Structure formats: C-alpha cells, structure tokens
Amino acid sequence: MTEVRKGQAPATLERADFHERFMDSYHDPAFRAESQALARIELIAWDAYQRGRKAPITRKAGPGYADPDYELSVDWLEAKDRIERAQTIWGSSATPSRVLLINGSPRNDGTCPGEMSKTYRLLEIARKVIESQGLHVDVLDLSLLTSEYGRHIHPCKACVSTAMPLCHWPCSCYPNHSLRQTGDWMNEIYERWVAAHGVILFTPTHWYQATSALKLMIDRLVCADGGNPDPTSTHGKKPEEAKALELQGWNYPQHLKGRAYGVVVHGDVAGVEGLRRILCDWLDWMGLVDAGSKARLDRYIGYYEPYATSHEALDADSDLQEETRNVARALVRAVAELRAGLGDRPDSSLTSPRPK
C-alpha cells in the first residue's frame, strides 16, 4: 500500500476566530435587532464545525453501489440522479439537439462594471445562428457569480491528485455544511454539460489566461474526466481505499465524451492564441470533438485601443461578427454529424498506452 502523506492541514479555528468569521455575513447594522437569534444559530454552526458535519442529511446508497449500506449525501444522490437522467435523454435519437453556450466573462451591467461584456454580445450573435437552425440553446452565464445573491462555484480540492477514484462524479466535496461551503452551482452545471450535444465557450483573456469564473468551472469539471461514479467504493473520502482502487487498475471514464465543441476567445493586447489553444487542448483531453478549424477562433477587439471604446470597436468589426457566426454554423454541422454517427474523432477507437 502506498503511503498517505499527512501534516499540512491547519488546526481548527478557536471559538473567538469562528465567531468573527460567522458574523462577517451579518455586518449590516440591520441584523443587530436579531443578535440573540444569531447567537443561537451560531452555536448550532459551531457544533456542526467541531463535529465536521459535512453532509447532515444522508441515506443509504442502495442497490447498484459497491456498498449499498453506506450513507451517502442526499445532495449528491439527487445530483447523480439528474445527471443520469440527462445522459439518458442526451443519448436518445428522439431528443432535439441541444447546444450549451457558456459566457466566461465575469462582467455584466448589473454589477460593478455597469456595462455588459463583449463576450456576451458575441454569444448572442452565435445564439441567433444556432436557434435559426432549430436547435435548442442553453446559455450558461458565469457572470452571475459576480452579480447574483448566494451564487458560488467553490474551488476544486484536487482529490484526483491523491487518487483518481477519490474524485467522484459528480463532485462530492460540496456542499460542506460544516465549513459553510454551500450554494455551490456545479451540480446544476454538470447536468447542463451532460444534456448538451454541443458546447461553445466564449471568453475574454485576463492576464494571458482564462477568467477566474471560467477557470473555477473548468477545474471542477475534472471529475468529468475519469471521475468515480460510486463514492461508496471509497467510503466517502478515504484516501487509502482510493489509492488501492486506482492501483488495481482504473479505466478513467470520460463522462462528457462525444459532444462537439467550439471556442471563441478575444482580448485587447496579448494572450488570445495561447488561451484558445489551452481551452481546445482541455476539451480534446476530455473526449469532446472539435467542430473544425473555423470553430476555434481567437481575435483581438480594439487592439491597443482604449477600453472605453471597445464596444464601438466590436460594432465596427463585421469580420469578427461573421467569424463568430461561422463558429456557430460549424458547431451545428458537427452536432448533426455526431448524432448521425458520421463525425466521431478519427482516433476514437485507439487505446492510449498512457491512460490518465
């Protein structure tokens, strides 16, 4: 058995420190009228924290799991059921084709910037093309992370780096009620990816890289590439069991394999080509199928021009607008070919000597 390394985890918070963090959410003086009620609620939260009640509502896993008697989080079980239903519907030839359009910009006119993003405008250009071809469009707007109450994507905890079977599909790290890591959006997002026959990512370039909102989603999708659909096989998060399971041989299931993709990356001075390549490599790795060279777009808007006039620069760039339409057109064709069994990746039947 390989050794499980320990020694990094911090000590639990002292009571006074817990109190300060708990009360951070109630800084508004309007809450002072309920100070006694908050004190009682804080005691419950403190008890949950000390006891580590990550999943306070559970039920037995039931038939079909390695350990049917293991108590699984009801949150996780419900998410798993929705994903399985979405996968079944996705695979039916009677299901209308569905495209997921993802806005990776954190900016919208309902929060601090006070103006909509150019990314969202490009998405809307593509949406019109796809809908005109009769496909259903689902828009995932990640700017809601910055503008909607209680909306979160919590960071990946990198379970996969301990052992792949410890990374559950869907992610079982959240919600963690004992740490107030709640309101996580990813269970809904997993379902929307599974339901899609095609996906287009739209994103600006932030410091040569993906936006923080988009990167949070990307990291939490690690469980879609090799993730373990049965947490009872590791009895939750037991690293010793997960390591043993991986060393017996793991098949790294690709839970999103076979969906078509396109990418639209824009920026103002640098980094668009690198980011476009990174995103395409990631989607390739997960088993998605690119919709061709015209579906992999990177362009500058208002190159080295003022940010203040960048929307006007997009207005004037009719070529970029048409290229964005071509991304959508290419994806529509790719979805049709894949669903007809004509467009799978040429190397799809090959077995990698380095599975991971």
Cβ count within 10 A of residue 342: 9
What type of residue sits at position 8? Q
Instruction: Kindly give the parts of the chain with pLDDT less than 70.
Output: none
Element (H, E) at 65: none
Q: Is 29 left (phi over 0), alpha (psi -120 to 50) or beta?
A: alpha
Query: Which tokens hold the place of 306?
Result: 């003022």
What integer pLDDT is reported at residue 344 of this predicted model?
74
Please report where in the chains the tokens 């620069």 appear, as a residue: 313
What integer pLDDT is reported at residue 345 of this predicted model?
73
Cβ count within 10 A of residue 317: 17
What integer pLDDT is reported at residue 350 of this predicted model?
83
User: Phi, psi (5° rounding) for residue 117?
Assistant: -90, 155
Sequence-distant (6+) residues with CB within 8 A of 234 are 165, 166, 168, 228, 241, 242, 245
Q: How far apart are CA 329 and CA 298, in angstroms?
A: 16
Percent of the chain with pLDDT strictly greater than 70: 100
What integer pLDDT is reported at residue 162 of this predicted model?
97
Query: Which tokens hold the place of 259?
Result: 């969906």
Q: How far apart are CA 216 and CA 210, in angstroms?
A: 10
Cβ count within 10 A of residue 167: 25
Contact 272, 110 (CB under 8 A): no
Q: How far apart are CA 175 and CA 266, in angstroms?
A: 34
Looking at the DSSP bridge assignments, the partners of residue 200 are: 101, 262
Tell me the DSSP string of 194-247.
HH-SEEEEEEE-BTTB--HHHHHHHHHGGGGBT-BS-GGGGTTT-HHHHHHHHH
Looking at the DSSP bridge assignments, the partners of residue 201 are: 102, 263
Please report where in the chains the tokens 């390591």 appear, as a residue: 243
Query: Which tokens hold the place of 89?
Result: 């519907």
Tell me the DSSP string of 286-346.
TT-EE--GGGEEEEESSTTS-GGGHHHHHHH-HHHHHHHHHHHHHHHHHHHHHHTT----T
Q: Is 94 left (phi over 0), alpha (psi -120 to 50) or beta?
A: alpha
Greatest pairwise CA separation for the chain in angstroms: 66
